[in-house]
Structures are given as structure tokens and as C-alpha cells.
Amino acid sequence: MGYKEPAPIVDHENPFESMMSRFKIASEALGLDDEVYNVLKSPAKQVTVSLPVTMDDGSIRVFEGHRVIHSTILGPSKGGVRFDPGVNINEVKALAAWMTWKCAVVDIPYGGAKGGVCCNPREMSSGERERLTRAYTQSMIEIFGPDRDIPAPDMGTGPREMAWMMDAYSRTQGMTVNSVVTGKPLVLGGSLGRTEATGRGVMVSALAAMGKLKINPYKATGAVQGFGNVGSYAALLLEERGMKIVAISDISGAYYNKEGIDIQKAITYRENNNGSLEGLEGAEKINGDELLAMEVDVLIPAAMEDVITIKNVADIKARLIVEGANGPTSAKADKIINEKGIIVVPDILANAGGVTVSYFEWVQNRLGYKWTAERVNRRSDRIMKDAFETVYKTSIEYSVPMRIAAYIVAIDKVAKTYKYRGGY
Ligand code: NAD
């Protein structure tokens, strides 16, 4: 038992390698037998489809789409669908496995999946996106289902696409099946609290970690990279709980004020400025690398993957990193972060508030009932706090960083369930 630092892995990193290297370390610490390791190391199913779509000019373009089901051991698989030019099967495989671990960490009865279509939604009209979404759903009709595989939004997709997916699926069933996707508009059975759920979970995990480190939120400073759905709500909710957010950033640059940035004002500014923080008043413009290297108590990367890497990890000065984004820290940077004594609340725990409230959406759809925002928040806060405590205790029990502890909790749960269910 015990924690072994990973052997240095090859000098290029991709999401699948990052996921696998952590999975391997946690499996070894857990003493997972080879049989279960082999079951979990590859996806249960992967489907690639060609989607011919009529474009507005009358031409037909063929898009490549994927759906990877990593595991259905804990229940129907759950995971978003990404519309992005960078979509490739390797990335979708990694993201699908991440979903398995994420659902297991927060103890919700789902397996993991992910989907993607290689396309550039920003260059497509609404009609083209609708036809693509319907074609993708139709081609996955044997895969999707409220008890089989439940898609959700991801990069490049949102409530609009989920509504089309729900409708396309429902037409094939001859009845409305709103529980087949989550992240729907409220009128179609979306859940109250879903929009802010991931940022809220980041806030809950940040406060829980600060409690362990004896950091008083009223005396603490924070920096948040990425001011989209996750970053802006995490910043707002932490500010409401006393933290001074001294820096925020988006694709336009980073903004700093040592007295603290007024987050509500920044959100309003962004809303009135085409979604961008460019020109934000009351803050000095700095570059994005400076934000990551800032001397703050809490750093929240909430933009994208691989932003803390071997190249900049030496500059990080925060005491605590709470990963709002998926995969913001590369596997090779983990070792140096651990040596520096920085505590990381890992992505599969910190940003699991989103999938938790997606689960609540599915539960409400199946009950044919709507919960209040207060009930959604209370229940998701409880799940996030319990998951944090379990991972924290595991990190002490196995003397491992919280990231490896989160994988241990997840893999242990999936492995035990697999053993009970049995194979062929
Ligand atoms: P989003 O598109 O709403 O926001 C992303 C933000 O990051 C934008 O403000 C964008 O300008 C900024 N950004 C992009 N590149 C940047 C850069 N180089 N430097 C600084 N800022 C940059 O996306 P989101 O939904 O907030 O997701 C952010 C991350 O959180 C992603 O990794 C996503 O996979 C993960 N995540 C999201 C959810 C969710 O419910 N939305 C759930 C779990 C994980």
C-alpha cells in the first residue's frame, strides 16, 4: 500500500494519458487486481458515426461523431456531448472515463460516457446545428435512453441542443421522454439550480478545504482563471462568503485589483459587453500567466484543460488549488505541486456539482415533479460536502494527495460493484 510517485511519463501529455497515469497510481495504491484493472482501463463501448447534414447552401457535409461509454457498472452512463473542431476519439475516451470516476466520487448511480462531433458550431447557422444535432441523436438511438445512456451539454452545446436531442429521441418513441437528456431549458424539465451548480460545488469544496487548512474565508484571497459558467459563479459565491477575489480572467486577459474585484459588477459588465471582460473598470489588466502565479490563498482554474503544466508549475504560489475545469493540471505537474505542499481539490471532486444537479434533473423528470432551488442546493451541497470528507479521509488513510484519493474512492466503488455484479 502507500503512495508511489508516478514514473516520469513521456514528454507529451494528452487527456487520456493524464487520466490513465492517475488511474494506474490509484489502482496500485488500492491493490486493485489485474482483472478489474483490465476491465476499467478501456471503454465498454465506442461508436463512431458519419453524419451527412444538408448545409444552408444546399451542399451536404459529412461530420464525424463519437459516443464512448466507458462504464455502466454503477448505472446508466452519463456524459456531455461536445461540438468542437478538436474532437477526436482519444479525447472522448478520456473524458468518458473521467465521468465514471466523477459520478462514483459523488456517489450517484451513473456510469460514465462522453460524446462529440468534430465541427465548428461558431461557423454554423442555427438550422445547421439543429440538423446536425438531430442527425447525431438519430444515429445514437440504440445507445441513448433514460435507463441506458443520458447525454448532457459540453463545450459547444447547451440547452438549445439538449432540447433538439430530447425532441429527436422522443419522436422515435412516440411519447415525450424528457429524462433522456439533462441540461434542458427549464420549460422542458430542466432543473432549477443547474446553471450555477458546478460553480456552487467549487465553492463548497473550496470552503471545505479551507476549513481543513484553517484558512478563514474572510481573510483569504482568491484568483479565478476563466469567467464563464463555472468560474463566474464560483467567484461570486465565494465572494458572498467573505473571500476577496483579487484576480479574474477570460480569453481577453486577466484583471487584478488587490482590494478585491466586485464580482457581481464584473458579471453585469460581461453580460453587457458581448460576454467579454475586455475593458473591465476598477481593475488593472495583467497577463494570464501572472494570474496563475499570483500569491493568493486559493487558485481556481476554471477555463480549460492543461493550464498548469511542467512549464509553469514552479511559479505557482497559491496554498490551495480548486479545479473548476476538467483536467487543468497535467499529470506531470502533479509531482511538483505535491513537493511544494500545495493542496489540490481535484476536478473529479471539485466540479462534480454539475453532474450531481444533472442527476437531480433526471430524478425530477422521472418523478414528474419539480424541486425548489432551495431543495436542489441543499441536497447538492450535502453530496459535495460528504464526497469531500470521504476523499479527505482517504487521502490521510493512504497518505496520498487528494487527487489520488479521489481516484481511489471512485475506483474502489466501481471495482466493488463490478465484483458483486460479476462478469462472464
Ligand atoms: P465557459 O465556456 O462558460 O467558460 C470558459 C471561460 O474560460 C470563458 O470565460 C473563457 O473566456 C475563458 N477562457 C478560455 N480560454 C482561456 C484562457 N486561455 N485563459 C483564461 N480564460 C480562458 O465554460 P464552462 O462551462 O465555465 O467550463 C469551464 C471548464 O469547466 C471546462 O474545463 C469544463 O469542461 C469544466 N466543467 C464545466 C461544467 C459545467 O457545468 N459547465 C461542469 C464540469 C466541468
At 219-240, the pLDDT tens digits run: 999 999 999 999 999 999 999 9
Whether 200 shows a pLDDT value over 60: the answer reads: yes
* 320-322/343-345 β-pairing: parallel
Weakest-pLDDT range from 21-25, 241-245, 380-384: 21-25
The whole-angstrom separation of Cα 413 and Cα 108 is: 11
The residues of the chain that CATH labels 3.40.50.720 are 197-350
Alpha carbon nearest to ligand 1 atom 35, residue: 325
Alpha carbon nearest to ligand 1 atom 21, residue: 250
So what's the pLDDT on residue 16?
Answer: 75
27 lines ligand 1 (CB under 6 A): no
Report DSSP letters for 369-392, one per residue.
----HHHHHHHHHHHHHHHHHHHH
**Strands (DSSP E) found in 89-236:** 111-118, 149-153, 221-225
303 lines ligand 1 (CB under 6 A): yes
89 lines ligand 1 (CB under 6 A): no
- Best mutation site among 251, 278, 290, 357 for ligand 1 pocket (most ligand atoms within 8 Å of CB): 251
C-alpha cell at 290: 501572472
pTM of the model: 0.94
Cα 20 to middle of ligand 1, angstroms: 23
Cα 372 to middle of ligand 1, angstroms: 27
Q: What is the mean pLDDT of residues 195-201?
A: 96
At 26-54, the pLDDT tens digits run: 999 999 988 888 888 889 999 999 999 99
So what's the pLDDT on residue 282?
Answer: 94
So what's the pLDDT on residue 7?
Answer: 43
pLDDT band, very low/low/confident/very high, at 422 (cuts 50, 70, 90): confident
Q: Which of 24, 102, 114, 244 is catalytic?
A: 114
So what's the pLDDT on residue 13?
Answer: 61
197-350, superfamily in CATH? NAD(P)-binding Rossmann-like Domain (3.40.50.720)
Whether 8 shows a pLDDT value over 90: the answer reads: no
Decide if 114 is catalytic.
yes
43-181, superfamily in CATH? Leucine Dehydrogenase, chain A, domain 1 (3.40.50.10860)
159 lines ligand 1 (CB under 6 A): no
Cα 360 to middle of ligand 1, angstroms: 22
Degrees, nearest 5: CA angle 90-93-99 = 145
pLDDT band, very low/low/confident/very high, at 69 (cuts 50, 70, 90): very high
The residues of the chain that CATH labels 3.40.50.10860 are 43-181
At 107-144, the pLDDT tens digits run: 999 999 999 999 999 999 999 999 999 999 999 999 99
The whole-angstrom separation of Cα 412 and Cα 409 is: 5
So what's the pLDDT on residue 423?
Answer: 75
158 lines ligand 1 (CB under 6 A): no
* 244 beta partners: 221
324 lines ligand 1 (CB under 6 A): yes
